[in-house]
């Protein structure tokens, strides 16, 4: 069993930055992900990172968002720069293990002036 706790969401103006964190209750040797879900829309993949640090991004966030992880702290981060109103969503962390996928509870990000 793995518990994931996200933090760092909030209200930010367009063009601003936020850093999300996701702390896992134990070491994760698989891929970790950030997803987001806007009101009335499906949950979409934002970024992923392997244990060794290989990353992938959705086209909509390339060049603006950076995913990283600190394996010693069992934590994955999402640095979000140049935020736009369309980035407004609940952001979820997911951890993949050999037996199951685990989700965090989500953190709200609102981009508005």
Alpha carbon distances (Å) from 6 to 58, 63, 113 = 20, 23, 24
Q: pLDDT at position 84, please?
A: 97
Q: What is the mean pLDDT of residues 79-97?
A: 97
Give the pLDDT mean for 21-37: 97
Instruction: Please report, for residues 3, 32, 46, 104, 107, the alpha-carbon distance to residue 60 in angstroms, rounded to integers and kept in the order given.
Output: 28, 19, 8, 22, 19
Its sign, for the CA torsion 19, 21, 27, 33, is negative
Residue 11 pLDDT class (50, 70, 90 cuts): very high
């Amino acid at each position: 069993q793995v518990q994931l706790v996200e933090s760092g969401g909030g209200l930010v103006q367009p063009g601003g930055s936020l850093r999300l964190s996701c702390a896992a209750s134990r070491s994760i040797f698989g891929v970790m992900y950030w997803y987001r879900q806007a009101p009335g829309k499906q949950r979409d993949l934002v970024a992923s990172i392997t244990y060794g640090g290989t990353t992938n991004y959705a086209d909509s966030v390339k060049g603006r968002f950076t995913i990283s992880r600190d394996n010693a702290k069992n934590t994955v981060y999402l640095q979000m720069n140049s935020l736009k109103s369309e980035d407004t969503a609940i952001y979820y962390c997911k951890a993949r293990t050999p037996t199951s996928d685990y989700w965090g509870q989500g953190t709200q990000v609102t981009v508005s002036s």
